[in-house]
Amino acid sequence: MADMFKRFLISALIVFTSFMAYSTNEEGIDGIEDRIVQLIDSIESTSNFNQKNELNNELLSLLYDALLLDNSFEYPFNKVQKMGILTSPDKKVRVYTWNIPQAGGHQKYFGFIQTNVNQLQNIYPLTDNRKQIETPQLLTLSTDTWHGALYYSIRVDNFFGKNVYTLLGVDMNNLFSTKRIIEIITLSDNGEPQLGAPVFRVKGNILNRIVFEFSAKASMILRWNEEMQMIVFDHLTPMRNDYAENYQFYVPDSSYDGFKLTELGWEYKADIDVRNPDRAKPPTPIKPPVENPEPGFLYQTK
pLDDT tens digits, the chain, 302 residues: what are they?
Answer: 445 444 444 444 444 434 444 445 567 999 999 999 999 999 999 999 999 999 999 999 999 999 999 999 999 999 999 999 999 999 999 999 999 999 999 999 999 999 999 889 999 999 999 999 999 999 999 999 999 999 999 999 999 999 999 999 999 999 999 999 999 999 988 889 999 999 999 999 999 999 999 999 999 999 999 999 999 999 999 999 899 999 999 999 999 999 999 999 999 999 998 865 554 444 444 444 435 567 888 777 76
Alpha helices in the chain (DSSP H): 2-45, 49-68
Spatial distance between the Cα atoms of 238 and 15, rounded to a whole number of angstroms: 62
Return phi, psi of residue 6, to 5°.
-65, -45
Spatial distance between the Cα atoms of 112 and 99, rounded to a whole number of angstroms: 12
pTM, rounded to two decimals: 0.86
Which residues, at least 6 apart from 79, have a Cβ–Cβ distance to it below 8 Å? 33, 34, 37
Is residue 240 within 8 A of residue 261, CB to CB? The reply is no
Q: What is the pLDDT of residue 190?
A: 80
- Containing 154, the helix (H) or strand (E) segment is strand 150-159
- Other CB atoms within 10 Å distance of the CB of residue 81: 9
Q: What is the pLDDT of residue 278?
A: 54
Pairing verdict, β 200-202 and 177-187: unpaired
Which residues, at least 6 apart from 5, have a Cβ–Cβ distance to it below 8 Å? none
Spatial distance between the Cα atoms of 229 and 232, rounded to a whole number of angstroms: 9
Q: What is the pLDDT of residue 6?
A: 43
Q: Exposed/middle/buried for 9, CB within 10 Å: 0-12, 13-18, 19+?
A: exposed
Q: What is the pLDDT of residue 298?
A: 76
Is residue 289 within 8 A of residue 250, CB to CB? The reply is no
